[in-house]
Amino acid sequence: MSSASMASAERLAAELLSLKKDSGLSFARLSERTHYAKSSWERWVNGKQFPPRAAVESIARLCETDPEPFLDLWDRADEERLTPAAESSTESSTETPADGHADVAETIPRPLWRRPVFWAPAALALTLAFGAVALAFAAGTFGEAKPQAAARPVETAGPATGCTGKACEGKDPKKMNCGADAVTVRTGAIPKDLVIELRYSRACKAAWGRISFAEVGATVVINNSDGAAAADVVHFDRDVYSPLIAAPDHGSVWVCAALPKDGPHSCTGRFIPSQEEH
C-alpha cells in the first residue's frame, strides 16, 4: 500500500472515529442498529481494517450526517489501495493539483460534515468569466479576430486496458487494468460480516464480483443477462474477487455470494450500464 493510500485510509478511519464519538454510540449500539458485528465496527473505526463502502454509508446515515463526503473519501482510498505502488508513486511525483486545494485539504483536514462543498462550481464560474473578459479584451485591442472553425469537443481518453467487453470474460480485472476506473455500483451483505460488491469498469465494459470479511470456502459469482457467469472461492484470508464478465450496455449484471456448507446466500441488485452511466 502506497503512502498516499495509507493517508486516505487513515483519514477515513479518523473521520469515522470522530463521527462515532460525536454521536455517542457504542460499538454494541452500532451493531444493533446495523447488520455489521460489533467486532467489525471496532476494526473499521480504529483503522485496523478497511471498511466496506456500505458500512461507511450506514454509519453516516445512522448519525444523520450527509454520507456523500464520506463515500467520496472511501472511493479515493479504495482506488488508491488497489493501484500498484509503482503507479501511485509515479502519479504522485508527476501530477500537481491545478488549484492547490487538494494539497491544503490533505494538510489541514477538517471534519467532512463541516466542509464547504460548493467551492468547485464557484471556482469554475470565475475561471470562465475571466476567460471571457480576456477574449473580449484581446478582440478589442488587437483588431477583429479571424473567423475560426468551431472548436471540437475534447475527447478524454480512458485508462489503457487489456480487454473490452466479451474479450474480458474469464480474465483477471487487476491484470487487465480494469480497476483503473472501476466503481462499486451495487452492494449486498450476508449478516453480520460478509460484504458483497459489484465492481464495474466503463473502460473495459466489464464487471466482476468481490466479497470481503468472508470465511474460507465462501463463494462469489457474477452473472449477466446474456447467461455468462464467473466465480471464485475464498481459499485463504477473508476476501476474493471473481474473474471478469462482459457488462452489456442494455443488459444487466449482478453478484451473488454464499457461505460454505449450504450456508446463507445473498445477491446484489441488478446493474444496467445504459440506464445509469452519465
Cell of 212: 470481503
pLDDT tens, residue by residue, 9-29? 899 999 999 988 888 888 888
Average pLDDT over residues 175-189: 92
Tell me what percent of the residues of the chain surpass a pLDDT of 90.
33
Cell of 6: 495509507
pLDDT tens, residue by residue, 53-100? 888 888 888 888 888 899 999 888 888 877 654 444 445 444 444 444
Spell out the domains of the chain, with CATH numbers in brackets. Answer: 3-114 (1.10.260), 165-276 (2.60.40.10)
Quote the pTM value.
0.49
| Furthest-apart CA atoms within the chain: distance in Å | 81
pLDDT tens, residue by residue, 135-163? 443 444 444 444 444 444 444 556 788 99
Q: How many residues does the chain have?
A: 278
pLDDT tens, residue by residue, 241-268? 999 999 999 999 999 999 988 889 999 9
